[in-house]
Amino acid sequence: MTKTSVIPEGFLWGGAVTSFQTEGAWDEGGKGPSIVDARPVKEGQSDWKTAVDFYHRYKEDIALFKEMGFNAYRTSISWSRIFPDGEGEPNEEGLQFYDDLFDEMLANGIQPVITLYHFDLPLQLAKKYNGFASRKVVDLFDKYARTVFARYGEKVKYWLTFNEQNLVLTNLQYWGVSTDEADNEEALRYQVTHNSFIAHAKAVKALHELVPGGQMAGMVTYMTTYPNSCLPEDVIANMKAKELLVDFYLDVFANGEYPSYVTSNLQRKGIMPHFEEGDAELLKENTVDYISISYYQSQTVSSEKVKEDAIISGITPNPNLKANEWGWAIDPIGLRVSLKDMYARYRLPIFITENGIGVREELNENNTVEDDYRIDYLRNHINQVKLAMEEGVEVFGYLTWGSTDLISSGGQFEKRYGFIYVNRGESDLRDLKRYKKKSFNWYKQVIATNGENL
Ligand code: BG6
């Protein structure tokens, strides 16, 4: 008897990026500035003005993605292309850009997977309202979401609200929020987190109202954590860290209410966020259709290192694992651990929308990069996805981070992730030409065999 493949027909294969890490054209087409454009450029790193010039070169890139066999590609919409100041009337030129982009993808058999918000708030909303600290920005986000759902609903089925929403507590700047004038910074952090949940739930509601069959995810970055030892203290410390790192968010997305391990703590401290009338019902009635994660690495949690209440301070590297140059531990089994855990808790389909390894690379004399380390990394992770699926987990797509190289989140171009090398340096844009790395043909045959040939 022949063994049937664990990966079903129609599984989504491709890559994932964002608008600001690829598009460039930061002030073209009527686009307003975003908080990313205003970020100071660190010494020796890139600004965001050109990125890989996807705005002008997307046809060439999509032709390469088609050659690899992609049937999905994730990017984000730049809010400030659609609403240059974040409010007022939409900018038709910005709307048309994404119409053309999505049409080009669809004409090449690639479905757009779209993130509404990937840390690039229109700058004006940060200055005027302190970003998502204000409910005004939640309402403006709702308006933006409704505008793009109405416009692209027929072209886009899979949506994500916020990229890696579980970073909100620790990275308020990604939500355009400054803590400078906060009386109680921790309370502000939870209030912004609450506001982001409300914005998320409103977007779920709007999609379901406006787009029949539209599928909305809540997304987290899933850094798997293990107890640093079998000491019961480490086990409980790890459990508590995981609650704050991922479970809190997924519980709200999937169950539509705050978990008691969070509310008990916030009530005890007197910093429960303010719920406006109707918030609890909104969360309850607008749960997600699927769960989406990025996965890169794992860590351990040591009870010894936990400082007071700051449970995340216990995170410490795993001596059993190798890491890349940036200290991100390579752990394919950690991905399977996270998939099994999420599926057991929520029974929702899972879409892996980022996975990959950043490496410093240069073209060799044959104008390619022999990136066997990337092939190994991806092969081992896909293998674990297959094992998780054999063990009953429902995964319906796998997207690598990057397709062409792109600017890393910290502003470095030399941390490369793509199957396609882009000829530019940090500040030297060179000619931005595209070259296939060795992994290009490897991923092509992975997709062609629907994950059989790794
Ligand atoms: C995710 C983000 O955290 O990881 C991306 O969604 C980011 O924006 C990616 O680029 C890889 O991280 P980095 O820091 O290597 O770019």
What DSSP element (H or E) covers 429? none
378: closest CA among 398, 350, 351?
Answer: 398
- Does residue 2 form part of some domain? no
Question: What pLDDT sits at residue 14?
Answer: 98
State in Å: Cα 265 to ligand 1 middle.
30
State in Å: Cα 262 to ligand 1 middle.
27
The region, left, alpha or beta by phi > 0 then psi within -120 to 50, assigned to residue 88 is left
Q: Whose CA is nearest to atom 16 of ligand 1?
A: 408
State in Å: Cα 296 to ligand 1 middle.
9
What ipTM does this complex have?
0.98
Q: Quick check: 282 and 205 in contact, CB under 8 A?
A: yes
Helical residues (DSSP H) of 211-274, grouped into ranges: 232-242, 248-255, 260-269
Q: Quick check: 415 and 326 in contact, CB under 8 A?
A: yes
Query: Is the shortest distance between the CB of 45 and ligand 1 below 6 Å?
Result: no
What whole-number distance in Å separates Cα of residue 125 and Cα of residue 85? 7
394: closest CA among 135, 7, 1?
Answer: 7
75 — phi, psi (to 5°)? -140, 180
State in Å: Cα 410 to ligand 1 middle.
8
Write the CATH number for 294: 3.20.20.80
Query: Is the shortest distance between the CB of 74 and ligand 1 below 6 Å?
Result: no
Q: Quick check: 451 and 11 in contact, CB under 8 A?
A: yes
Q: What angle do CA 346, 350, 351 make, to 5 degrees?
A: 155
- Does residue 416 form part of some domain? yes
CA 251 to chain centre: 18
Query: Is the shortest distance between the CB of 355 and ligand 1 below 6 Å?
Result: no
Question: What pLDDT sits at residue 1?
Answer: 47
CA 311 to chain centre: 24
The region, left, alpha or beta by phi > 0 then psi within -120 to 50, assigned to residue 327 is left
Query: Is the shortest distance between the CB of 78 and ligand 1 below 6 Å?
Result: no
What whole-number distance in Å separates Cα of residue 52 and Cα of residue 22? 5
Atom of ligand 1 nearest to the CA of 163: 6
Pocket test for ligand 1, best of 246, 401, 412 (most atoms within 8 A of CB): 401
**Catalytic-role residue among 354, 365, 391, 414:** 354
Question: What pLDDT sits at residue 3?
Answer: 61
**Going by DSSP bridges, is the β-strand pair 434-436/350-355 parallel, antiparallel, or unpaired?**
unpaired
- Does residue 3 form part of some domain? no
- Does residue 6 form part of some domain? no
Range of the domain at 87: 12-448
Query: Is the shortest distance between the CB of 408 and ligand 1 below 6 Å?
Result: yes
pTM greater than 0.90 (yes/no): yes
Atom of ligand 1 nearest to the CA of 408: 16
What whole-number distance in Å separates Cα of residue 425 and Cα of residue 428? 5
What whole-number distance in Å separates Cα of residue 305 and Cα of residue 315? 8
State in Å: Cα 398 to ligand 1 middle.
16
State in Å: Cα 346 to ligand 1 middle.
26
Atom of ligand 1 nearest to the CA of 164: 6
Query: Is the shortest distance between the CB of 164 and ligand 1 below 6 Å?
Result: yes
Pocket test for ligand 1, best of 160, 220, 403, 408 (most atoms within 8 A of CB): 408
How many domains are there within the chain? 1
What whole-number distance in Å separates Cα of residue 17 and Cα of residue 21? 7
- Does residue 170 form part of some domain? yes
Q: Quick check: 15 and 400 in contact, CB under 8 A?
A: yes
Q: Quick check: 73 and 119 in contact, CB under 8 A?
A: no
Query: Is the shortest distance between the CB of 295 and ligand 1 below 6 Å?
Result: no
- Does residue 23 form part of some domain? yes
pLDDT per residue as tens, the chain (454 positions): 456 689 999 999 999 999 999 999 999 999 999 999 999 999 999 999 999 999 999 999 999 999 999 999 999 999 999 999 999 999 999 999 999 999 999 999 999 999 999 999 999 999 999 999 999 999 999 999 999 999 999 999 999 999 999 999 999 999 999 999 999 999 999 999 999 999 999 999 999 999 999 999 999 999 999 999 999 999 999 999 999 999 999 999 999 999 999 999 999 999 999 999 999 999 999 999 999 999 999 999 999 998 877 778 899 999 999 999 999 999 999 999 999 999 999 999 999 999 999 999 999 999 999 999 999 999 999 999 999 999 999 999 999 999 999 999 999 999 999 999 999 999 999 999 999 999 999 999 999 999 999 9
- Does residue 65 form part of some domain? yes
What whole-number distance in Å separates Cα of residue 119 and Cα of residue 34? 9
- Does residue 1 form part of some domain? no
Question: Has 365 been annotated as catalytic?
Answer: no
Cα-Cα-Cα-Cα dihedral of 444, 65, 162, 314, to 10°?
Answer: 40
Residue with tokens 């505008």: 147
441: closest CA among 423, 422, 420?
Answer: 420
Q: Whose CA is nearest to atom 2 of ligand 1?
A: 409
